Copies of this chain bind each other. A is one copy, B any other.
Amino acid sequence: MLESRAAVTIDHVALAAGVSRSTASRVLSGAGSSSTESGRRVRSAAERLGYVPNPLARALARGESGTRVVVAVSGPSAEVLQDAYVGQVMSGAATVCGQDGVGVSLQWLPLGAASGPLDRLAADRSVRGVVLVNTTREVLNVMPARLRGRTASIGLGGPGVPSFDVDNSRSSADLVRHMISTGRRRIVMVVGPEWLPCARRPVEAYLAVIRSAGLPERVLPGDFTVSAGHAGALEALRRWPDTDAVFGICDATALGALSALRSLGVDVPGDVAVGGFDDVPFAALSVPALTTATHPVQRIAAAAVTAVLDSGQAPSASAYPSLLVLRESA
């Protein structure tokens, strides 16, 4: 607590411990080998002096090139950055990075922007790596070689870009099966935007279950929004009046559907069951409470960032389990 205003460097520590810079460095960075005795003295001196290594100098000497990880979110407009989902990713990522002295920044990747933004990131030596969100095929195709190996994707992966994602396929199938097992036979799905490949998986899961059960396939377009769910439910009842269940690709969409059905006087789950995906905080509070599936976003984000930081060989793809949460709506 007597720290002087001037920064205390490793030289000060070495001097105080009566050893050379190198020895101090070895002890403090944990690399190489050192005797128990000098190790103790160095550590004690560092503690006493309040030594904190300068990450810049360390990175420079190590040839590491980057003090930040960029979370790059694809989408039609910059508004995707406002999304609560992105917020969760940021929190998860930033918590892990902090330990390591690196920060996270956030950026929008316009759909169809070619490789421009990505090239800029690759050239910027302040970026240690990239975490892709809402990853599209296009982004994967134009991914600069210099970014591969230090990029992770929350969603679709590719060569040099490991994927960290929920197994939404599994839980979607579970939900549809649950609906069928509780007597539903005319199940409509309101899906996600076409530009997002991983939003396709739950749809495939839905289709597979529906087909094997010999039920009619009913898919309506959507874009993850509440209004898509609202419009979807309306359209469903118009085209198929016998609809007895609506599966929204996400909770926002499901809640939109819930709201539309309610305004129509349709009883949920009496007449129509509704299911979603995400388990957002307020899914439990809707009327009726929404049946959905969990989504460990922060854990996934943390894993993705860790892969980028360690840059060692991370698994090329890891799927996180998603659990069905049965509530009242289905």
**Across-interface contacts of A309 in B (CB, < 8 A):** none
**Across-interface contacts of A70 in B (CB, < 8 A):** 98
**A108 nearest CB neighbor, chain B only:** B95
**Across-interface contacts of A53 in B (CB, < 8 A):** 125
Give 1 or 0 for each of A68-99: 1 = CB within 8 Å of chain B CB.
Answer: 11110000000001101011101100110110
Residue A298 is within 8 A (CB to CB) of chain B in the complex: yes
**Across-interface contacts of A256 in B (CB, < 8 A):** 285
Nearest CB of chain B from residue A121's CB, rounded to whole Å: 10
Is B91 in contact with A125, judged by CB distance below 8 angstroms?
no
Known A67-B55, A103-B67, A105-B102: A84·B88 in contact at CB below 8 Å: yes
Q: Which A118-149 residues have C-beta < 8 A from chain B? A: 119-120, 123-126, 146
Give 1 or 0 for each of A285-307: 1 = CB within 8 Å of chain B CB.
Answer: 11100000000001000000000
Is B285 in contact with A68, judged by CB distance below 8 angstroms?
no
Partner of A68, one of B7, B54, B101, B146: B101
Is A94 in contact with B101, judged by CB distance below 8 angstroms?
no
Is A104 in contact with B107, judged by CB distance below 8 angstroms?
no
Residue A266 is within 8 A (CB to CB) of chain B in the complex: no
Known A56-B59, A67-B68, A286-B286: A86·B91 in contact at CB below 8 Å: yes
Is A67 in contact with B126, judged by CB distance below 8 angstroms?
yes
Residue A282 is within 8 A (CB to CB) of chain B in the complex: yes
Q: Which A254-287 residues have C-beta < 8 A from chain B? A: 255-256, 258-259, 262, 280-282, 284-287
**Across-interface contacts of A123 in B (CB, < 8 A):** 3, 50, 52
Q: How far is the CA of A107 from the CA of B70 in the complex (A)?
A: 18
**Across-interface contacts of A82 in B (CB, < 8 A):** 91, 298
**Across-interface contacts of A60 in B (CB, < 8 A):** 54, 56-57, 60
Size band of the interface chain A makes with B: 35 or more
Give 1 or 0 for each of A98-116: 1 = CB within 8 Å of chain B CB.
Answer: 1001111111000000000
Q: How far is the CA of A187 from the CA of B204 in the complex (A)?
A: 51
Q: How far is the CA of A14 from the CA of B135 in the complex (A)?
A: 38
Q: How far is the CA of A126 from the CA of B65 in the complex (A)?
A: 14
**Across-interface contacts of A105 in B (CB, < 8 A):** 94-95, 97-98, 102-104
Residue A226 is within 8 A (CB to CB) of chain B in the complex: yes
Residue A245 is within 8 A (CB to CB) of chain B in the complex: no
Residue A13 is within 8 A (CB to CB) of chain B in the complex: no
Residue A152 is within 8 A (CB to CB) of chain B in the complex: no
The 7 lowest CB-CB distance pairs between A and B, nearest first, are A103-B103, A87-B87, A68-B103, A98-B105, A94-B106, A67-B67, A90-B90
- Other than the given A1-B119, A84-B87, 8 more pairs (CB < 8 A) read A50-B123, A54-B125, A56-B56, A68-B103, A87-B91, A90-B106, A98-B106, A226-B285
